[in-house]
Amino acid sequence: MTFTSEPCALAIDLGTSGAKVALVAAGGGIVDWSFAPIETHVLPGSGVEQDPDDWWRAVVAATREVTTRNPAATEAVVAVGCTGQWSGTVPVDAGGRALSRALIWMDGRGADLVRELVGGVPHVQGYAVHKLARWIRLTGGAPEKSGKGPVAHIAWLKHNRPDLYERAATFLEPKDYLNLRLSGKAAAGFDSIALHWVTDNRDPANVRYADRLVHMARLDRSKLPELRPATAILGSLLEAPAGELGLLPGIPVAMGTPDLHSAALGSGAVADYATHLYLGTSSWLVAHVPFKKTDLLHNMASLPAALPGRYLLANEQESAGACLVYLADSLEILPPGLTPASRPEEVFRGYDIMAEAAEPGSGGIIFAPWLNGERTPIEDSRIRGGFLNLSLRATTNDLVRAVFKGVAFNTRWLLGYVDKFLGRSADPIRIIGGGARSDVWCQIYADILGRVIQRVKRPRLANLRGVGRLALLSVGSISATDLENNVPIAATFHPNAALRRRYDSLYREFLAFQRATRRIQSRLDDRNR
């Protein structure tokens, strides 16, 4: 790689599938990057864990590749910034060591505990009215009944691992744990702490713990980290991690931000109401907004953004690219000539060819992507996915295209409520994430959503671009206005009007499938507990 003389940030993105690391230049360019995979442990009873030591090994491996290829980076890096998967929990002892594997954002083992915690009479949507009123007034939301959040994670650890809970000095979000490894300091951002639902977010520039909310969530204040704004400098890179990473000690470690927030920055959709679609393991439709607002029925709220004094509309659909991974790994439906040992990149390129070869309607096959429950536009940990309307005439090409369409139909479902939340139509929509590299998927999104889809340059690296530039902002190397610039659009996809009627018909059946099967799925879940 050719190295730039511009100041750079070392950007770290701890995704669910692995760690990406990049050198992000002040001008917005990504000089070089690398990736190292991470193992996910799926356990009985909705448990999903990852080992924080695996996170660190992946970060070190990816960083070493970048710094080895770019020796001048040791002098050009002026800040380190971390982003990553949100809504996870790492129990950490007083010495800064992780006490167990992390419960990540997919772990729902605490569902029963959190439902009991938020319940009471009278109630709305399973929440005691008096509790819900206080949560929404101060935070904008409330703990997820699905159990896939820090309040439920901590409750599960307290109930099932009391010895570990007592030894824990603090509980950290994934990116905040990486910051601890880098700087030796434990803290959470105004943004990363939001899904604990224990902070007063009415002034996004001055987020503070609310004692009453901490009590309602049955959390121990002494085990919660101190709070800093996302643009703060947490500390300096310690000598030991600097040696492992191939960097100079003493480099400022910025607070960084969760993946939802870094994606918004890296997409270039920084202005109020500018919307981006992230298409990775999970998916979301997010925009900065100038107000604090909650849509309880559809599990969406505006929460503190990474940018000082700003709010970000937060939502997340549980499974997007994860559906393609399941298609390959569990069902072993693979492109011709490939095997389960083939590289994921080859499989995904093959899926593009298969999806494009199928007729647009996939022979009337509908795929529901709820393989691990859903968060938005409904919160339902029991909802399950699958194929509908299979026949002996169905081809593997039809099945692959049905998955592409099913994920997009789910986004169309969410988009209707996002438009209402924003008070305007989200159009155009920028698209980022690994799935955005697929021309056929981007066109399917444009056709199904009926919106112009703009793919940014290097969409898979948007989170790295976002957190890298946030770190550069934190040390004064760029200004806030620079964040909206230097994110070029690589391709634009316009809706095909000729397909609108067909997709509208299939979309109505997609929603009908959800309505018709929700009680069946709930009963099946009860019987298999």
To the nearest whole number, what is the mean pLDDT of the chain? 95
Residue 256 has pLDDT above 60, yes or no: yes
Q: What are the beta bridge partners of residue 19?
A: 14, 36
Question: pLDDT grade, residue 445 (50/70/90)?
Answer: very high
Neighbour order of strands in the sheet with 47-50: 41-43, 47-50, 102-103
187: left (phi over 0), alpha (psi -120 to 50) or beta: beta
Query: What was the pLDDT predicted at 3?
Result: 52
* CB distance 15 to 85 below 8 Å: yes
Structure tokens that stand for 529 in this block: 């507990």
* CB distance 233 to 476 below 8 Å: no
Handedness of CA 420, 423, 428, 433 (dihedral sign): negative
Residue 4 has pLDDT above 70, yes or no: no
Residue 528 has pLDDT above 70, yes or no: no
Query: What was the pLDDT predicted at 527?
Result: 62
Q: Which of 300, 495, 290, 506 is nearest to 416 (CA)?
A: 300
DSSP 187: E
Q: What whole-number percentage of the chain has pLDDT above 90? A: 91
Mean pLDDT of 126-154: 95
Question: pLDDT grade, residue 2 (50/70/90)?
Answer: very low
* Strand 311-314 versus strand 283-289 pairing type: antiparallel
Mean pLDDT of 304-330: 95
56-85 pLDDT, tens per residue? 999 999 999 999 999 887 789 999 999 999
Mean pLDDT of 100-125: 95
237-246 pLDDT, tens per residue? 999 999 999 9
**Separation of alpha carbons 334 and 22, rounded Å:** 31
Query: What was the pLDDT predicted at 1?
Result: 42
Query: What was the pLDDT predicted at 306?
Result: 97
Query: Could you give the 3-state DSSP secondary structure of residue 323?
Result: helix
